[in-house]
Amino acid sequence: MDTPFAITLGVGTSRANHTGSWRVERPVYVDRLPPCNNACPAGENIQGWLYEAESGNYEAAWRKLVEENPLPSIMGRVCFHPCETACNRVQVDEAVGINAVERFLGDLAIEKGWQLPDPGPDTSKRILVVGAGPAGLSATYHLRLLGHQVRLVDSAERLGGMMRYGIPAYRLPRAILDAEIDRVIAMGVDVALNHVVHDIEEERSAGGFDAVFLAVGAQLGKRVNIPAGDSSKIVDAVSFLHQVAHDDPPLLGRRVVVYGGGDTAFDAARTARRLGATDAVIVYRRNRERMGASGEEFEQALGEGVTVRWLSTVNKFEGDHIVLEKMQLNDEGFPESTGEFEELDADSLVLALGQDTDLSLLDHAQDVTVEDGAVSVETSMMAGASGIFAGGDAVPADRTATVAVGHGKRAAHGIDDYVMGRAPDVKQRHELATFERLNTWYYADAPRTKRPELEKIRRQTNFEEVVGGLTEDNALFEARRCLSCGNCFECDNCFGVCPDNAVIKLGTGERYEFDYDFCKGCGICVKECPCGAIEMVPERI
Amino acid sequence: MTRQPVHFYQVGSFAVGNRLLDADDRTVQSNRDRTNSIDSGHRACQGCGEALGARYALDAAMRATNGQVVAVNATGCLEVFSTPYPETSWRIPWLHSLFGNAPAVATGVAAALRVKGKHDVRVVAQAGDGGTVDIGFGALSGMFERNDDVLFICYDNEGYMNTGVQRSAATPPAARTATTDAVGPEPGNVFGTGKDLPRIAMAHDIPYVATATVADLHDLERKVERAMEIRGARYLHVLVPCPLGWGSASNDTIHIARLAKESGLFPVFEAENGKVTSVSPIRRRVPVEEYLSIQRRYGHLFGKSPRPDIVARIQEMANDNIARYGLVDEDVEAKEITD
């Protein structure tokens, strides 16, 4: 070999030296389950659609969103967003306004006329969906995606269920509701309205359906026996809201008392204010901490002049006043009588004490168990082995639109497995992406964007929407507050911080790869990964 | 020259890359085509801050000069772990002579290039803190004084690490090294000695002096870029934590550099012609304890017989830095309190 003077060896690269052999632990890329996705009752891939929205690719974001939930504009208004409660960003500043971005995407889709995906190839299986509320519509959508034929029946005049007849228009404008429902129906659905199903087995065999999804909701307001004079006006909240939705509101007078502490109670009180009540008083037997209604709705109601009598029950209703009994909470947090009474002027009393389900259509069904007024179901949402599935308010679960949407999706997949004769596919869930796994140093400081609220005074008297939407700027900003917990968002940190150049960048959308020939296992990439998408595992020797 | 940080882009400009930023605003290190001036297979310890700092700085210099860089290296870790004959990790023209003469060799290279008319080829000299503040100090001061066209980069890991962790004039007070044992009433290195080289460099009134850490890549790259825009003697002092000598976890290297800056112990600033022109304000201030307690070289200040008095003296040093350079943005602090 020809080498210069005093040089005996040719110069070579250090790459011959495989320093990876020093390693006792190796880094590996992982995907973890973001807490928002984990908390979403509709099973949305929130982190996934926020990722698209962050780059301003709103259509891709919306398409990702409707893979799971066909009603984003509605959800962006009525969902109680457990995703935001679970959001890791809470521990940095404030939760990401996921709900607001969802609404922005949903509204944009309506404005731009984006359509849902085409139905899947026809399987010639026929499914009967009873009830066109959120559960029924969600099931219909997913069943159509899977290629099944759907007949959707509802006893009401119009589609939407409780979203139309229970949720007041100031929370959910009807144009939005119609637009999102129409989009599902446009996938090709055989719809029958004003159609009451009396016997599910009869209906099923008459139509030759392969499976049935029951999403009949809980339409019956619970009554309690309250001693009352002849002239005392008592209505239940469900009927009251239903009548308002029908443009036929009952006359409740100027002083309205609502009995109950759930969202429906607040909907009723706020609606009463809009119909001209000067006093809308909620009477609730427990305290604020134990109230069922969402904090947001509570704050908005107070802002509109609704007042609350905590720790009180309605004893009797005589003429123009109600007698309340004061309560106190015992050690277990249950309200107990105190024997103290007080009077409250009232023209009418609205009962918002919960709802019951009318399940008489199941009287002749085989193998279906009804317990405490709800249908027992398996994880696939099947009620017994007979191809009858159920979801929404008719099964034991939280009674919210989002839970119903999740039921609809799960039932659709359960029905698909059932009619196609497949064993259910058990999906492995990723490990949860907890806050401790994040390196929050890297995230820019950014406070949350608040949706503008209509001036209080304006919303007391009309049914205009109370909570406004985000502008594009705000929505983009809000989406970019996402920490992308547990899922690589290609920030290049691992690629940059490796002292041994042992991370290979594969290019946009392709993420990275470790070069284990040279990785010494120092673990800096793990420590400096903002979103916790790398972990160290012991090296197998 | 302070660059406006990019807000509201998820990671803003804190992370190495950001898919939402324009390509021009991304770091050199986020680019797949970066030079990788120092290649894989080098023999630095796990989690070496110096290997990282050297790649950051030289890759940035390579981009700033369109690849026209000659590097001169003093003896030290960086030289030993990168170039055990006949192997080398350097993918750029690289020259090593002796421990103490790197500034003089760099001066010579710059002169030779000037004579040959190669004005586009730039010279970067690099050394550890030993080669800079102790052994190469005379030559370096001469290079500054003559205003030779060299960017001199000191990778400061606060001691002689590859020879077995001996004290240098950059070793901080109270730190334990092989030559400053943690014994007696004043354990570890003594207070009141050592050299603050960035300020000594500023006293030469050279065109550009800056400090940086491996924890803020955007800042480090911008300073190298700025240095390469200027002709004459320039000095960049980069803090590079050393897991071996500091007794820290190998995965903590960047974290510790960040704490050094956020506690105020290592002020990050830049100066032109002897005057400070910008400082990197502290973003999330931490007490020095947070920085000290995760390094075994300060282990004798904590544990069974803790020395809160010494920790308090170190905190004083941090407070002095904060006051001297204005590292805490008073307006921001006041605003946080009223919020």
Q: In CATH, what number is assigned to the domain containing residue A497?
A: 3.30.70.20
Which candidate from A13, A482, A528 shows the least CB-CB separation from B10?
A482
Q: What is the pLDDT of residues A176-221, one digit of tens each?
A: 999 999 999 999 999 999 999 999 999 999 999 999 999 999 988 8
Residues A185 and A235 in one domain: no
Q: How confident is the model at residue A458 (pLDDT cuts 50, 70, 90)?
A: low
Alpha helices (runs of H) in A275-307, residue ranges in sequence order: 295-303
Report the alpha-carbon distance of residue A513 to residue A451 in Å, rounded: 41
Residues A399 and A285 in one domain: no
Burial of A105: CB neighbours in 10 Å, binned 0-12, 13-18, 19+:
buried
Residues A361 and A470 in one domain: no
Q: What is the mean pLDDT of residues A120-137?
A: 97
Residue of B nearest to A448 (CA): B8
Chain A nearest CA to B323, separation (Å): 24
Q: What is the pLDDT of residues B268-291, one digit of tens each?
A: 999 999 999 999 999 999 999 999
CB A139 within 8 A of CB A391: yes
Residue B7 has pLDDT above 60, yes or no: no
Residue B3 has pLDDT above 70, yes or no: no
* Position A25 in a domain: yes
Q: How confident is the model at residue B331 (pLDDT cuts 50, 70, 90)?
A: low
Q: What is the pLDDT of residues A70-123, one digit of tens each?
A: 999 999 999 999 999 999 999 988 899 999 999 999 999 999 999 999 999 999
The CATH number given to whatever domain includes residue A340 is 3.50.50.60
Q: How confident is the model at residue A266 (pLDDT cuts 50, 70, 90)?
A: very high
Percent of the residues in chain A that have a pLDDT greater than 70, as a whole number = 97
Report the alpha-carbon distance of residue A3 to residue A7 in Å, rounded: 6
Chain B nearest CA to A376, separation (Å): 44
pLDDT the model gives residue A471:
84
Task: Show which of A353, A370, A391 is a domain's final residue.
Answer: A353
Chain B nearest CA to A260, separation (Å): 37
Report the alpha-carbon distance of residue A446 to residue A449 in Å, rounded: 9
Average pLDDT, chain A: 91
Residue of B nearest to A511 (CA): B19
pLDDT the model gives residue A47:
96
Residue of A nearest to B82 (CA): A14
Phi, then psi, of A246 in degrees rounded to 5: -85, 5
Chain B nearest CA to A24, separation (Å): 11
CB-CB under 8 Å, A520 with B30: no
Bridge-based pairing state of the strands A321-329 and A190-192: unpaired
Q: What is the pLDDT of residues B208-224, one digit of tens each?
A: 999 999 999 999 999 99
CB-CB under 8 Å, A517 with B251: no
Q: What is the mean pLDDT of residues B252-265?
A: 98
CB A148 within 8 A of CB A415: yes
Q: Residue A260: which domain range? A: 225-353
Q: What is the mean pLDDT of residues B129-143?
A: 97
Q: What does the DSSP 8-state code read for residue B254?
A: H
Extents of the domains making up chain B: 34-338
CA A228 to chain centre: 40
Report the alpha-carbon distance of residue B130 to residue B146 in Å, rounded: 22
pLDDT the model gives residue B86:
86
Q: What is the pLDDT of residues A31-82, one digit of tens each?
A: 999 999 999 999 999 999 999 999 889 999 999 999 999 999 999 999 999 9
CB A61 within 8 A of CB A50: yes
pTM: 0.88
Per DSSP, which regions of A210-345 are E strands?
211-214, 220-221, 233-236, 255-259, 279-283, 307-309, 312-318, 321-329, 335-345
CB B259 within 8 A of CB A534: no
Q: What does the DSSP 8-state code read for residue A24?
A: S
How many residues are present in chain A? 541
CB-CB under 8 Å, B9 with A441: no
Which candidate from B8, B14, B42 shows the least CB-CB separation from A477?
B8
Q: How confident is the model at residue B328 (pLDDT cuts 50, 70, 90)?
A: very high
* Position A438 in a domain: no
Residues A269 and A180 in one domain: no
pLDDT the model gives residue B178:
97
Q: How far apart are the first and last CA of chain A?
A: 39
Residues of chain B contacting A10 with CB distance shorter than 8 Å: 86
CATH number of B34-338: 3.40.50.970
CB-CB under 8 Å, B12 with A524: no
Residue A296 has pLDDT above 80, yes or no: yes
* Position A155 in a domain: yes
Task: Show which of A479, A496, A529 is a domain's final residue.
Answer: A479
CB-CB under 8 Å, B30 with A500: no
Residue A327 has pLDDT above 50, yes or no: yes
Bridge-based pairing state of the strands A149-153 and A190-192: parallel
CB-CB under 8 Å, B253 with A522: yes
Chain A nearest CA to B259, separation (Å): 11
Residues of chain B contacting A522 with CB distance shorter than 8 Å: 46-48, 243, 250-251, 253
CB-CB under 8 Å, B40 with A501: yes
pLDDT the model gives residue B186:
93
pLDDT the model gives residue A309:
93
Residue of A nearest to B33 (CA): A505
Residue B337 has pLDDT above 50, yes or no: no
CB-CB under 8 Å, B30 with A522: no
Query: If we measure between CA atoms, which residue out of B18, B288, B81 comes closest to residue B174?
Result: B288
pLDDT the model gives residue B2:
42
Residues A412 and A454 in one domain: no
Question: Which of the pair, A222 or B94, is modelled with greater confidence?
Answer: B94
The CATH number given to whatever domain includes residue A51 is 1.10.1060.10
Residue B16 has pLDDT above 90, yes or no: yes
The tokens describing B84, both together, are 């055990």
**Chain pair A-B, CB pairs under 8 angstroms:** 163
Region class of A424: left (phi > 0), else alpha (psi between -120 and 50), else beta: beta
Mutation target to probe the A interface, by most A beta carbons within 10 A, among B4, B28, B251 is: B251
Q: What is the mean pLDDT of residues A483-505?
A: 96
Q: How confident is the model at residue A8 (pLDDT cuts 50, 70, 90)?
A: confident
CB A224 within 8 A of CB A351: yes
Residues A361 and A329 in one domain: no
Report the alpha-carbon distance of residue A522 to residue A30 in Å, rounded: 18
Q: What is the mean pLDDT of residues B155-180?
A: 97
Total domains in the fold of chain A: 4
Query: If we measure between CA atoms, which residue out of B51, B24, B214 comes closest to residue B126?
Result: B51
- For A252, residues 6+ apart whose C-beta sits below 8 A from its C-beta are A233, A235, A240, A272, A275, A277, A347, A348, A350
CB A150 within 8 A of CB A121: no
